[in-house]
Amino acid sequence: MGQKLGFSTFSALGGTVNQTDETFHYSVGEPIVTSMDGDQLTIRQGVLSSEISTATEEAIIQVRFFLDENEDGNKDFDENFLQQGRFTLDGSDAYNIFKQEGISFSAPTGRFDFGYVRSHSRHELTTDELVTVIIDDDTEYVSVLFGVRIDDDCVEPGLKMASEKFKCFNEVNYRVCVMNYGCVSYKDTVYLAIDERIDPESIYFRDVPDVFIDDHKVGWIVDVTPGRIVVLHYQLTAPDVEKPEDVGVIYKSTAWIDLENGSKAEECFSQELKCSYDPNDKLVSPDREDNLALLEDELVYTIRFQNTGNDYADDVVVIDTLSEHLDLSTFNLIYTSHPRELEILFPETQENIIQFQFKNIFLPDSTTNEAGSNGQVMFRIRTIEGLPLDTEIQNTGYIYFDRNPAIITNTTRSVMVDEYPIVATEELMDSSHDIFAYPNPSNGIVYLSEVVDQVRLYDLSGRPVYQKRNSRKIDATQLTSGTYLLEISKGTYRHTEKLVLFNHQ
């Protein structure tokens, strides 16, 4: 058995302290200012080391995964490192890689065995499954490389959106998180359609779009490698409230990506306009009035917190009580407002508990810095296999500012079903944003969020050019590129919007 290693730059699942807690260290490579003493190890300033050695006297072992395109077992210059991979150290502690730089360890003299762990169903190992490293007094650096090949062409895009609180007449920051759950990279355009009721003069794109369709529709060209998350930022001002019924109005924005191979992802982001609100809350997606969610889809949770005291908070700890019906092994962090300060722990003594620890966050109070007083974490997780239909999943968060008592969030509820019920006409809400079309712009194939009675397309002169009944799919590939008016009808519901076609003819 080898010795314990220390981290220098890391993102790991594993790394036990006196064999009680399994810790997920989430970092961007910057030092994590923290200290925790155990029987064997000490974490200080982001460096994990044994008590009998110092980081400056030890060698560095860097573990990385690469895509072995020619399958020869060697890392060639033009072969890329991967942002995902899983391996064991000395047959026990398991680590997950989330960066191309992999994980670097500070190592004293001795023997260390690194073992490959299959982390993706479409990955096949092309190098040795076990790599043994011998560190002596003359060793300064060792590179451990695991090569994998892909057994087929798999592209699986993913999209999620997150924001600050949608409070009336406040500036709200948004993030569109573009993910790649597949095995190969993809490059395409992510489109965003912002609610038409938002004042276009208030919209500001921190990441300048590559495509501007109109005041509310834009697109970014993204190049996403497997396991990577590309985050696109924009900002807008939430509408003011002019009359009481404006409070609670739902605003919707939609992001989507439609790859050439037919893979697609879409996110409809709904927000309730609030003017007074609980600054510490919990959200779940999908968020439907009937609380239904599909068993085959993942649940996305967002916990938001704000320091509303009169002084900054040194530390913030968020404890999330996951339902026993959720599979903890499928946990995946999507976004956090403070990545450098975040550590994620899964205590073995407390089943189905996740601890998000923000040590030395120095979160300002809202009276000093309103925008800076906010924070959040966002993650996705799936249900356990074989979960019965109509199982209700509840989730509650507990937020601790320094040594203050816990602030308890609202409890989210999701009832798991295999399909959504068909909504009767009289149950449809009278809103111009209930049924939406995507992608828009499109190459001619357009989908609706649900089956409608009738859909029509008109050119800009008002001439009808397309009509279909009882469908949720529009095939307008025979039409020329340009702008059309899309009319949707379902019972008493009517909705009209512009549809932009980029047909390749």
d(CA 351, CA 346): 8
> How far is it, in rounded angstroms, from Cα 192 to Cα 205?
11
Report residue 274's pLDDT band, with 50, 70 and 90 as the boundaries. Answer: confident
Q: What is the mean pLDDT of residues 299-309?
A: 88
pLDDT in tens, 398-424: 999 888 888 899 899 999 998 877 544
Please indicate whether residue 197 or residue 29 has the higher confidence score (pLDDT).
197
Q: Which residues have a Cβ under 8 Å from the Cβ of 143 and sit 6 or more positions away? A: 61, 62, 64
| Domains recognised in the chain with CATH numbers | 6-150 (2.60.40.10), 153-277 (2.60.40.3880), 300-366+377-421 (2.60.40.740), 425-501 (2.60.40.3080)
Q: What percent of the chain has pLDDT over 90?
A: 35
Looking at the predicted structure, is the pLDDT value of residue 487 above 70? yes
pLDDT at 394 over 90: yes
Q: Give me the pLDDT at residue 425, please.
A: 37
Side chain identity at residue 391, one-letter code = T
The 10s digit of each residue's pLDDT in 187-221 is: 999 999 999 999 999 999 999 999 999 999 999 99
Q: Is the dihedral of CA 64, 69, 72, 78 positive or negative?
A: negative
Residue, of 29 and 489, whose pLDDT is higher: 489
Q: Is 1 a residue whose pLDDT tops 70?
A: no
Q: Judge whether residue 64 has pLDDT over 60.
A: yes
Cα gap 504→11, rounded to integer Å: 44
Report how far residue 425's alpha carbon sits from residue 468's, in angstroms, rounded to the nearest whole number. 19
Which tens digits make up the pLDDT trace of 115-166?
999 876 667 899 999 999 999 999 999 999 999 987 656 778 999 999 988 8
Please provide the average confidence, as pLDDT, over all residues in the chain: 80
Query: Taking the model in full, what pTM does it have?
Result: 0.48
Using a 10 angstrom Cβ sphere, with 0-12 exposed, 13-18 middle and 19 or more buried, the burial of residue 442 is buried
For the segment 216-268, what is each residue's pLDDT rounded down to a tens digit?
999 999 999 876 789 999 999 998 766 656 767 889 999 999 888 778 899 99
| Top-ranked range on mean pLDDT: pick from 236-245, 312-321, 445-454 | 312-321
Angle CA 254–259–261, to nearest 5:
145
What's the gap between Cα 355 and its chain centre? 18
Q: Is 90 exposed, middle or buried (0-12, 13-18, 19+ CB in 10 A)?
A: middle
The better pLDDT of the pair 277, 336 is held by: 336
37 Rama class: left (phi>0) / alpha (psi -120 to 50) / beta: beta
Q: What number of helices (H) and strands (E) belong to the chain? A: 0, 38
pLDDT digits (tens, 9 = 90+) for 322-332: 999 999 889 98
Q: Is the model's pLDDT at 393 over the cut of 80? A: yes
